[in-house]
Amino acid sequence: MTTRGVPSGFWNFIRGGSTDWHRHQEEHQIYLLEGGEGGVVVGDDKTKTSVRAGDVISTLPCEI
């Protein structure tokens, strides 16, 4: 999916779901639109941060 030249996508995670560790060449912003609460790990230090609907997660290029 692309919106005005900006790559975008939609993901739906089941409770306890996750993605594999990965990196992207470009900066990313993830908007949590609905649901309960969870955790996200961003960066090489692998610190887990609590997140919930309404939060925005930003990653730098090549950041985990």
* Each residue's pLDDT expressed in tens, for the chain with a length of 64 residues: 545 666 677 888 888 888 888 888 888 888 888 877 888 888 778 888 899 989 988 888 888 6
Q: Among 37, 34, 41, which Cα is nearest to 52's?
A: 37
- Whether residue 64 is contained in a domain is answered as yes
pTM of the predicted model as reported, rounded to 2 decimal places: 0.66
Answer for the pair 43, 27: CB distance below 8 angstroms, yes or no: no
Instruction: Give me the domain span that covers residue 46.
Output: 21-64
How confident is the model over 34-44, as pLDDT tens digits? 877 888 888 77
Q: How many structural domains does the chain have?
A: 1
CA distances from 27 to 15, 17, 59, 61 (A): 26, 23, 6, 5
Please give the Cα distance from 1 to 10 (Å, whole number): 8
- Whether residue 13 is contained in a domain is answered as no
- Whether residue 43 is contained in a domain is answered as yes
- Whether residue 2 is contained in a domain is answered as no
Strand partners for 7? 2
